[in-house]
Structure 1
Amino acid sequence: MTCAAKTCPSADAAHLDGAVMGLNWILLFEAYRYTTVSAATLSYYASPVIVTMLCPVFFHENLTKKQVLCFVMSTAGVTYCLYFSALKELRGQEAAILSYIDPAVAVVISVLVLGEGITGLQVIGGILIIGFAVWNEV
């Protein structure tokens, strides 16, 4: 596979991305030790909101009306209240399964609402992740 130097990330950038993602997960699980799961998870899921708000400022990206609508719908207080009030009633393993369903729902919505494409490998990956999470519960 070949690509222009401006569009292909270097191996160093890929390693840095992996390290930052690993640090992200370490900090999330450390937060679970110092606060409630719901507070840590709410803080963690606030990052897309922050990115959405800052990208137009720092990267001069324009938001379409559909993106603004999806942003408002996804950050509605009702959504968060329902999700996190449900977490209080669940065992840890059940809450973990919900954390796998969240990205799957995001993929489905991105395909159906935003018209984004999805590959067969992405579908297989999603099925494997949710399948093994459910299998762990059985």
Structure 2
Amino acid sequence: MKSASYIKYIFAFLLFGSNGIVASYILLSSVEIVYLRTLIGSLLLILIFVLTKQKVQFWKNKLHFLYLVISGVAMGASWLFLFEAYKQIGVSIATLAYYCGPIMVMILSPLLFKEKMTMAKMLGFIAVILGMLFVNKEAFLQGEISRGLIFGLLSAIMYAMIVIFNKKAVTIKGLENATCQLVVSFITVAIFMMFKQGLVVNVVEGNWLPILILGIVNTGIGCYFYFSSIGHLPVQSVSILGYLDPLSALVFSALFLAEQLSFHQMIGAALILGGAALGELFQPKKVTSRGKLVKL
């Protein structure tokens, strides 16, 4: 049972890490890509929820459901920012900007969750800041910050909101949590798109295959594998394997999109991922797997 859970968990992160690669083959705006992704992913998770005869219980705690709704709205906004960052600054740099999100949660956790501010968390925060300076060295030296980087950092802020409010919704777990959150994220993106351009999407011939892969495989199946396996794995394994997501994104972008990081950007990548891992893995108290959320 545990070996199967490991396989599903690892496969889920490899799918999440390939999101930007699959999206690069879709000739649509970032808003349209996220709209179709959340629509297809939501329908698949609802189908899986029904077929596996899960019990609907989110309505029992209205406050926790409100937290989950806020988390779902943040997820929709986060993906809108992230996929726009993919288009403007590439998958690798956008991924690194997005992964500032976990360190934001670490810094806010003493205020929001009464968790102790440890030396590991502080060092992790400093490492991430230095990492961002290394990754965007030229832009900072010229006194400029690109729109793509701003979108990437905004997606990181939304990531922090996802984690914070998801952690507060403690009574809504597993597949029900994922399904509710993804449906809310779809509604959020659909409302934004309706006011921006309407809900009709003109898909170019040949684009349906990557769209379906992104919606069904990367989002629907990826979420199902993630949430159906996380409860069967040790907390330490959950935290360590979580870094397959950004690492695989960097590897895939180099292999399939020919995106190359310069030497100082590779140092920055190591600082960002290492800083996020430092604060998360060296916890003074045992944490639960709900404290770890991923870039779905």
TM-score by length of 2: 0.29
What is aligned with 2:101?
none
What is aligned with 1:107?
250
Matched, 1:36 2:173: yes
How many angstroms apart in 2 are the aligned matches of 1:127 and 1:8? 22
Give the CA RMSD over aligned residues: 4.8
The answer to whether the Cα contact below 8 Å between 2:239 and 2:281 also exists between their aligned partners in 1 is: no
How many angstroms apart in 2 are the aligned matches of 1:2 and 1:73? 36
Q: Which of 1 and 2 has greater Rg?
A: 2
The answer to whether the Cα contact below 8 Å between 1:87 and 1:95 also exists between their aligned partners in 2 is: yes
The answer to whether the Cα contact below 8 Å between 1:111 and 1:117 also exists between their aligned partners in 2 is: yes
Q: How many residues align?
A: 120
How many angstroms apart in 1 are the aligned matches of 2:143 and 2:276? 35
How many angstroms apart in 1 are the aligned matches of 2:275 and 2:152? 27
Q: Compute the displacement of 1:8 (Å).
A: 5.2
Paired residue type of 1:90 = L
Cα 1:85–1:127 change in 2 (3 A) is: farther
Gaps of 5+ in 1: none
What is aligned with 1:85?
228
The alignment partner of 2:253 has SS state of helix
Gaps of 5+ in 2: 1-141, 283-296
What is aligned with 2:157?
22
* Paired-residue identity, %: 22
The answer to whether the Cα contact below 8 Å between 1:104 and 1:126 also exists between their aligned partners in 2 is: no
The answer to whether the Cα contact below 8 Å between 1:101 and 1:130 also exists between their aligned partners in 2 is: no
How many angstroms apart in 1 are the aligned matches of 2:161 and 2:268? 23
Paired residue type of 1:113 = F
By relative contact order (CA 8 Å, sep 6+), the higher-ranking structure is: 2
How many angstroms apart in 2 are the aligned matches of 1:75 and 1:124? 35
Paired residue type of 1:82 = F
